[in-house]
């Protein structure tokens, strides 16, 4: 478990001065608490002697008030320093975690559910905070108080102390025996919470599918089963606590029973003052917390270790797509004047999603001069989407296969490379913000007229009158309040607004009628004159805007040419064209 805490070493080192100040305040707090029983002892001994001096009692009262004030200040101080540092570490760990998530590739998200990742960013981070905060406090507090109280007791009452603390070593044995059980059960609780979160997130995202297939009852039964499992895991942890802490309380209380049995006769016989008896009992009661704090510390460290293991599992995932190690050789913000002619070249590109796995693309070669539009046609599963994801390195192409301006895309800084592309996918994703913010997502600082122009080019502007607040209309999570065509057109507006050097439309108008699609393509491609575009579509008519077309089949480019050239030769393009013409009721 301790090896997991290596992740926290840089953070603890950064806030070490604050921790040390917090430890000082903690010792001040504990020291003040240790003085109070001594004052009570003096006061009771003076009262029981029968001749108390009022001035001495008043002096003791004033000293107790001052010590109580110092304890209060110390308690505030250690909370601000130690707990404050723990919260800062939690914040920085969460920032690091989210930053790392942004760098990971799509294959990673195919292995982890969103709910699980969210649970690690919330519940697990809270457990890590407790380990760097309250676990540290309880350890220092428990260690200092235990040693100080034992020194006081054995210095003032050695024989009585020896007998009364006999049950306490059993606490340590119990604590270390239970520690591993607590850690394992807490890990299972966290995994159960992640599973529950994942199911809820998936159900809410797919609520339309659930309701349209009338599967509410099935979803509820699944949720109830996962919820019952989560409850059972929690109860297993609670039952362990239910056994653990009562035993600890019994053993600490047993020391007080021993004090009455062994110390009572001494008070009666006069060998032990009444004030000494009360002070001894106060110290025993104070000693109960440090003994239990060992268990509390072990519990928090076990929880923190289990959570750190889950978080470290994500942080240790290496990004599959990395920027060049030789330094940034980015694309100039103003274009490609310093880096080439802005053309795209794909040379003998073969690609598989995993080493030794089935090939998705096989020996693809195509040149796309700057300022031209490439059309890509192919059946489902022919590799069209994979091909265009390789251009901005959303997937990583093999070295020496994809070039921009004559340079391998693997040589460009990732941020600079991707900022040169505007990619619109068939499954348009919108954020739960308003329409304006979604359009301006790539460049939040752009002027209002740019947003309006982008909305006009995608024709979403003609729908604004039907929206309750126009461009300020909130679209809901993933654009749930919009139709498929509206979402696609807003996504296109978002790509247009950043004015990318390269625009990729991956079947991005599949939910739009043919007339609107044709209008959108012709208008905004006219705006993009002189820049490079790649258009994927399952509609042959959509690709009429392309300067030339390639046809993919089972990962291979089996045809290429202009629309007229492809229609003139037998092949897949002419077959698809004829079928779609028949579907439209026209002559092939």
62-100 pLDDT, tens digit per residue, is 888 899 999 999 999 999 999 999 999 999 999 999 999
Residue 537 CA: distances (Å) to CA of 95, 189, 256, 522: 39, 47, 82, 15
Q: What would the mean pLDDT of 483-487 be, rounded to a whole number?
A: 84
List residues bridging with 506 in a β-sheet: 536
The answer as to whether 124 is a domain residue is yes
Nearest CA to 542 out of 578, 574, 577 is that of 577
Q: Which domain holds residue 451?
A: 421-499
pLDDT at residue 485 in the model = 83
Q: Rounded to whole angstroms, how far apart are CA atoms 392 and 66?
A: 68
pLDDT of residue 51: 67
Looking at per-residue pLDDT, the higher value among 544 and 168 belongs to: 544
Query: Is residue 339 predicted with pLDDT exceeding 60?
Result: no
Q: Kindly report the CATH number assigned to the domain that includes residue 99.
A: 1.20.1560.10
Judge whether 34 lies within some domain: no
Tokens describing residue 158:
């050695």
CATH number at residue 479: 3.40.50.300
Average the pLDDT over 528-548 and give the result.
86
d(CA 509, CA 495): 13
Instruction: For residue 475, tell me if it sits in a domain.
Output: yes
Residue 135 vs residues 128, 131, 296: alpha-carbon distances, Å: 10, 5, 7
- Kindly give the pairing relationship between strand 373-378 and strand 548-553: parallel
Residue 525 lies in a domain: no
Choosing from 499, 521, 551, the residue where a domain stops is 499
Both tokens of 281, joined, read 């009992």
Residue range 266-283: mean pLDDT, rounded: 81
Q: Are residues 310 and 427 in the same domain?
A: no
- From 499, 534, 554, the end of a domain falls on 499
Share of the chain above pLDDT 70, in %: 92
Q: Is residue 105 part of a domain?
A: yes
Domain end point (choices 315, 345, 378): 315
Of 521, 515, 534, 522, residue with least CA distance to 421: 534
Q: What is the mean pLDDT of residues 275-298?
A: 78
Query: Which ranges of 122-215 would DSSP assign to H, the alpha helix?
Result: 123-132, 134-156, 158-164, 168-205, 207-212
Q: Does residue 300 sit within a domain?
A: yes
How many domains are there within the chain? 2
C-alpha dist (Å) from residue 490 to 158, 363, 459, 495: 81, 35, 9, 9
Looking at the domain assignment, is residue 197 inside a domain? yes
Residue 583 belongs to some domain of the structure = no
| Res 335: pLDDT | 43
Residues 101 and 218 in one domain: yes
Same domain, 103 and 221: yes
* pTM, two decimal places: 0.77
Question: What average pLDDT does the structure give for the chain?
Answer: 83
């Amino acid at each position: 478990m301790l090896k997991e805490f290596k992740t926290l070493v840089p953070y603890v080192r950064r806030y070490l001065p604050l921790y040390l100040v917090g430890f000082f305040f903690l010792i001040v707090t504990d020291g003040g608490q240790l003085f109070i029983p001594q004052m009570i002892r003096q006061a009771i001994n003076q009262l029981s002697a029968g001749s108390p001096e009022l001035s001495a009692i008043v002096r003791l009262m004033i000293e107790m008030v001052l010590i109580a004030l110092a304890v209060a200040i110390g308690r505030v101080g250690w909370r601000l320093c130690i707990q404050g540092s723990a919260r800062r570490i939690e914040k920085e760990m969460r920032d690091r975690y989210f930053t790392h998530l942004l760098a990971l590739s799509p294959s990673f998200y195919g292995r982890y559910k969103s709910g699980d990742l969210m649970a690690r960013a919330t519940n697990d981070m809270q457990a890590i905070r407790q380990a760097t905060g309250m676990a540290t406090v309880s350890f220092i507090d428990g260690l200092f108080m235990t040693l100080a109280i034992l020194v006081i007791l054995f210095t003032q009452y050695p024989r009585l102390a020896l007998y009364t603390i006999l049950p306490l070593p059993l606490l340590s044995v119990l604590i270390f025996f239970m520690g591993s059980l607590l850690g394992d059960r807490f890990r299972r609780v966290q995994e159960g919470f992640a599973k529950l979160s994942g199911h809820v997130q998936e159900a809410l995202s797919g609520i339309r599918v659930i309701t349209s297939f009338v599967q509410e009852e099935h979803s509820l039964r699944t949720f109830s089963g996962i919820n019952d499992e989560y409850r059972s895991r929690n109860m297993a942890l609670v039952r362990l606590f239910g056994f653990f802490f009562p035993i600890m309380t019994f053993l600490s209380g047993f020391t007080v029973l021993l004090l009455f049995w062994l110390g009572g006769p001494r008070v009666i016989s006069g060998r032990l003052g009444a004030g000494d008896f009360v002070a001894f009992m106060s110290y025993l009661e104070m000693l109960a917390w440090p003994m239990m704090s060992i268990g509390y510390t072990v519990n928090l460290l076990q929880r923190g270790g289990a959570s750190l293991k889950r978080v470290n599992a994500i942080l240790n995932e290496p990004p599959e797509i990395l920027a060049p190690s030789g330094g940034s050789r980015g694309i100039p913000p103003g274009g490609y004047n310093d880096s080439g002619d802005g053309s795209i070249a794909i040379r003998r590109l073969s690609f598989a999603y995993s080493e030794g796995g089935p090939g998705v693309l096989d020996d693809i070669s195509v040149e796309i001069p700057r300022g031209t539009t490439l059309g890509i046609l192919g059946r489902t599963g022919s590799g069209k989407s994979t091909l265009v994801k390789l251009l901005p390195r959303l997937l990583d192409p093999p070295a020496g296969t994809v070039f921009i301006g004559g340079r391998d895309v693997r040589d460009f800084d990732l941020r600079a490379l991707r900022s040169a592309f505007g990619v619109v996918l068939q499954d348009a994703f919108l954020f739960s913000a308003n329409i304006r913010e979604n359009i301006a997502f790539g460049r939040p600082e752009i002027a209002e007229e740019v947003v309006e122009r982008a909305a006009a080019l995608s024709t979403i502007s003609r729908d604004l009158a039907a929206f309750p607040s126009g461009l300020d209309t909130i679209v809901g999570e993933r654009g749930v309040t919009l139709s498929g065509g509206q979402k696609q057109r807003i996504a296109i507006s978002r790509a247009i607004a950043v004015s990318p050097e390269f625009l990729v439309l991956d079947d991005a108008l599949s939910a739009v009628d043919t007339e609107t699609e044709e209008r959108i393509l012709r208008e905004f491609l006219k705006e993009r004159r002189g820049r490079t575009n790649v258009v994927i579509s399952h509609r042959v008519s959509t690709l009429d805007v392309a300067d030339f077309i390639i046809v993919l089949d089972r990962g291979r480019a089996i045809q290429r040419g202009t629309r007229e050239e492809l229609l003139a030769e037998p092949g897949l393009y002419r077959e698809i064209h004829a079928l779609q013409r028949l579907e439209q009721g026209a002559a092939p």
